[in-house]
Structure 1
Amino acid sequence: MVQLSEVVVEVKDLFFSYNSQFVLKGINLEIRKGEMIAILGENGAGKTTLIKHFNGLLKPSKGFVKVFGLDTRKVSVAQLARKVGLVFQNPDHQLFAETVEKEIEFALRNFGFEEEVIKRRVDWALNLMGLAEYRNRSPFTLSIGERKRLAIASVLCYDPELLIFDEPTAGQDYLQKERIAELLNLLKTRGKTVIIVTHDVEFVVTRFERVIIMSSGQIIGDGSTREILTNLNILSKARLLPPQIAKCAWLLSDLNIPKDLIYPEELVEKLKDLISGGHE
C-alpha cells in the first residue's frame, strides 16, 4: 500500500470576494509534502488571489484554508512566515533594503539566525541566483530580471518548507530560466513543496508533475501534467495554448500519432515508427 505524504495545504469550499465580487468560488484542494505544482490560467482567473491565502495574506470570506495544520483565519502572516515563503510577481513589492546583501540578510536576522549562519546562507543564495557581483548594489539599480532573482534569493535563504513563486520566469532569458529550473530540481531533491503560478506552459510541461488550471475563480482542471496539458477542452476554457509538442501530436493524430504526447522524444519515436512502418 502506498503511504501518502502529509497534507501541507488544505483548502475547503473557499470563497473570497473583493468589494462583494467573488473572485474565488468554491475552491477545494489538497497539496501534499514534496509535490511540485504549477497553477495556470489567464489573467484574472484567481491564481494570485489563491496563493495569497497560503501564507495568510488574505483570509477566506467563506470556507477555510489550513497550512501545516494551522487555520489561516486564526493565525498571523508572521506565524506562517517561517514555513511558507512567497515570492511576488512584482519584486518591487517585497524589496526595500539598501543593498542586495542586506535584502537577503533581513529575514535571517528577523528569524534569529546566528551571524555565521547568516553569512553562509547569504553567500549561498547570492551565488545560486547569479547575484554575487551585485551584493553591495542597491536592489533598485538592478534590472527587473535581477530584482526577481533577488526576491527569490531573499526567500530561499531561510529555507521554508513550502515555497510559492508567482510568475518566476517572467522577464528571464533562457539561461536564467534554466537556472530557475535547476533551483526547482534542487528544492525537489530536498523534499520541499513547491507551487508556481505561471503563464509559461512550455516551462511547466517538462518540469512539473501536477498542473492545476483555473478559470473565473474556479479550478477547472487538476491532475498529471500529461492529462491536463493535452486536454484541449480544458485549455480552451482557460484560454491557454497547448504545449508545442502536444499541438503537433493533435495535428498528426490522423496518422495514428497519440494525442497525449508532451515530450519531444516521444513525438520523434512515434514519427520514426510511422516512417519505418511505411517502408516495410
Structure 2
Amino acid sequence: MSIIIETKDLWFRYPGIDTWALKGINLTINTGELIAIIGQNGGGKSTLAKNLNGLLKPTKGVVLVEGLDTKTTPSHEIVKRVGYVFQNPSHQIFESNVFQEVAYGPRNLGLSEEEVKDRVRWALSLVGLEGYEDHNPYDLDYGKMKLLTVASVLSMKPKVLVLDEPTTGQDHAGRHLLASLVKKLNREGFTIAIITHDMRFVAEVAPRTVLIADGQKILDGPTREVLYTVDVLKKAAIKPPQIVQLSLALREHGFSFSSLTLQEMLDEMRKLIKNP
C-alpha cells in the first residue's frame, strides 16, 4: 500500500491560545484504508482532521497529502484530494436547494454541466436523497442534512473522505445507511477517516483505530486491539462499546469472548452452545 497522507511531528496551536492542541503527531494513512480517529471532545481529534485536508496548517511539523506539503501547496489542490464533511451541516450548506448544493463543488472544478448532473445524481443516490433535488436544505431534518453534506463532498470525488462525527443526529436507520455507505465507498477505492466518539459505529465499520487524547496519539492499531485496551481508554474518558463491555464481563466468568459487534457476539454464543 502507498501512503496517501502522512503527518511528521505535527504540532498545532490556535492563535492567541498558549496550550498546544496537537503535540508531535506522527501518523500515516495508506491509500484505501478505512480508519477511525477517536477521542473526547477537546482532545484534538477534529483539529487533527482539519490539518489532514489543509483547513488548518501545522504550527510545527509537516502534513503531506500525496507528497504535497499542506503549508506550501494551494488549498484548492489539497481539497481536490481530501474532502472534509463538517460535524455541523450549517457550517457547510449555503445553497438554496439540494441540487445546487451538491453541484457547487463539481462546477468549481470546471466540469461540464452534463458531468455535474451525473455526479449530483450519483452522489444523491448513494446517500438516499434522490427526489430531494428541489428541496431547501434547511427544510430537511438534521439526519438528511448530514447526508447532504456527505453528498456535496462526494460529488467532487476526492481520493480521501474525512467524516467529522457523521452519526450525530442520526436515528437507527440513518446510522445503518451511513455504515453501509462508508463500507461501500471504501470498497470502491475511497480512503476514509472517521472522526467520532461513537464507539459502536467504530466497532461496526473501522478496521483500524487511532486514539487521540490531550493532543497526543495514544493508541494506533487494529480496532479490536484498541477497543479492548480498556485501561488506556478509561484514562482518555472513552467507554468501549457495550458488546466489548459484555465480552469482558463474560471473560470474568471463564468465557473467552472477544466480540466487537452484536453479530460477532451471537456467532460466538452459537459456537459455545454447539461446543460447550
TM-score (norm 1): 0.92
The offset of 1:266, in angstroms, is 4.4
Secondary structure of the structure 1 residue equivalent to 2:252:
helix
Match of 1:92 among 90, 93, 117: 90
Secondary structure of the structure 1 residue equivalent to 2:47:
helix
1:255 aligns with 2:262: no
The offset of 1:170, in angstroms, is 0.8
The offset of 1:228, in angstroms, is 0.4
The offset of 1:110, in angstroms, is 0.4
The offset of 1:134, in angstroms, is 2.3
CA distance in 1, matches of 2:207, 2:61: 27
Residue aligning to 2:3: 7
Residue aligning to 1:55: 53
Describe the shift of the 1:131–1:275 C-alpha distance in structure 2 as closer, same or farther (beyond 3 A): closer
Describe the shift of the 1:15–1:259 C-alpha distance in structure 2 as closer, same or farther (beyond 3 A): farther
Where in structure 2 are the equivalents of 1:133-152 lying within 5 Å? 133-152=131-150
Does the aligned pair in 2 maintain the 1:230–1:262 contact within 8 Å? no
Does the aligned pair in 1 maintain the 2:165–2:197 contact within 8 Å? yes
Describe the shift of the 1:130–1:76 C-alpha distance in structure 2 as closer, same or farther (beyond 3 A): same
Residue type of the alignment partner of 1:93: H
The offset of 1:267, in angstroms, is 3.6
Residue type of the alignment partner of 1:14: L
Task: State the Cα RMSD in Å.
Answer: 1.7
Structure 2 segments unaligned to the other structure (5+ residues): none
Aligned length: 274
Residue aligning to 2:118: 120
Does the aligned pair in 2 maintain the 1:34–1:194 contact within 8 Å? yes
CA distance in 1, matches of 2:180, 2:39: 24
Alignment deviations for residues 10-64 of structure 1 (CA, whole Å, 9 cap, x no partner):
1111111122220101111111000000011111010110010111111111111
CA distance in 1, matches of 2:130, 2:266: 41
CA distance in 2, matches of 1:185, 1:272: 26
Residue type of the alignment partner of 1:249: S
CA distance in 2, matches of 1:173, 1:65: 35
Residue type of the alignment partner of 1:225: T
Does the aligned pair in 2 maintain the 1:215–1:237 contact within 8 Å? no
**Identity among equivalent pairs (%):** 43
Alignment deviations for residues 219-254 of structure 1 (CA, whole Å, 9 cap, x no partner):
111100110011111210221111122111111113
The offset of 1:276, in angstroms, is 6.2
Residue type of the alignment partner of 1:71: D
Secondary structure of the structure 1 residue equivalent to 2:128:
coil
CA distance in 2, matches of 1:150, 1:269: 35
Residue aligning to 1:132: 130
Residue aligning to 2:103: 105
Alignment deviations for residues 77-136 of structure 1 (CA, whole Å, 9 cap, x no partner):
212111110000011111111211101111111001111111111112222222223211
CA distance in 1, matches of 2:134, 2:176: 25
CA distance in 2, matches of 1:274, 1:129: 39
Where in structure 2 are the equivalents of 1:224-263 lying within 5 Å? 224-258=222-256, 260-263=258-261
Structure 1 segments unaligned to the other structure (5+ residues): none
The offset of 1:75, in angstroms, is 1.3
Secondary structure of the structure 2 residue equivalent to 1:197:
strand
Q: Which of the pair has more CA radius of gyration?
A: 1
CA distance in 2, matches of 1:274, 1:254: 16
CA distance in 2, matches of 1:266, 1:55: 35
CA distance in 1, matches of 2:229, 2:38: 14
Residue aligning to 2:169: 171
Residue aligning to 1:180: 178
Describe the shift of the 1:271–1:189 C-alpha distance in structure 2 as closer, same or farther (beyond 3 A): closer
Match of 1:33 among 22, 31, 34: 31
Secondary structure of the structure 2 residue equivalent to 1:133:
coil
